[in-house]
Structure 1
Amino acid sequence: MNQLTIIAKIEAKTSDIDLVKTELLKLIEITRTEQGCITYDLHQDNANPALFIFYENWKTRELWQAHMVNDHLKAYMKATEGRVETFTLNEMTNIN
């Protein structure tokens, strides 16, 4: 199977941008050490500071799914509960 690309779009509530950003930043170092993680990059929109995008590449979907149930992701979800306006996740495959 081809590697899996994840595009995760997180839009914080305007009043909670700093909190959400802080919690997202906590995920980076630990996630990059996980088995199967190729890239895990966080971006913040220049025009809309409430909008964050994770661009991720994983060796397999199974390894990404293991990431999704890790304790650090659960801690992020608890810390940001009610503070995120929208969340969209796309599983993608490179086709070129």
Structure 2
Amino acid sequence: MSVLTIVARIETNKDHVELVKSELLKLIAPTRKEQGCLQYDLHQDNQRPEVFVFYERWESKALLETHLASAHITAYLKATAGAVESFVISEMTKLA
């Protein structure tokens, strides 16, 4: 099995940090219960609190895509509309 690693970087508007943080935290419990989720950890930058990073590991790209189409991701996107400046998902493969 080839595990897919995801690094998702979310940068909020500085006046919406707490809103986005609370919405991101809501994603953790349901996502960790999803089929194929091996790891789903949220981090916040110590120097720039408006920057968040998810470090994720998934069994497959198909299961990641199911996650991205889930009701809790849809609810997050609706709740944070206009509050996020950038959202970048990097799909990665572990080399060593």
Asked if 1:89 is matched to 2:92, the reply is no
| Number of residue equivalences | 96
Q: How does 1:15-30 map to 2 (within 5 A)?
A: 15-30=15-30
Give the Cα–Cα distance (whole angstroms) in 1 for the partners of residues 88 and 72 of structure 2: 19
Give the Cα–Cα distance (whole angstroms) in 2 for the partners of residues 7 and 77 of structure 1: 18
Structure 1 residue aligned with 2:73: 73
Q: Which runs of 5+ in 2 are unaligned?
A: none
TM-score, scaled to structure 1: 0.98
TM-score, scaled to structure 2: 0.98
Secondary structure of the residue aligned to 2:41 is strand
> How far 1:13 moved relative to its partner?
0.3
> How far 1:5 moved relative to its partner?
0.4
Q: How does 1:18-57 map to 2 (within 5 A)?
A: 18-57=18-57
Q: Which runs of 5+ in 1 are unaligned?
A: none
> How far 1:60 moved relative to its partner?
0.7
Of all paired residues, the percent bearing the same amino acid is: 52
Give the Cα–Cα distance (whole angstroms) in 1 for the partners of residues 60 and 88 of structure 2: 20
RMSD: 0.6
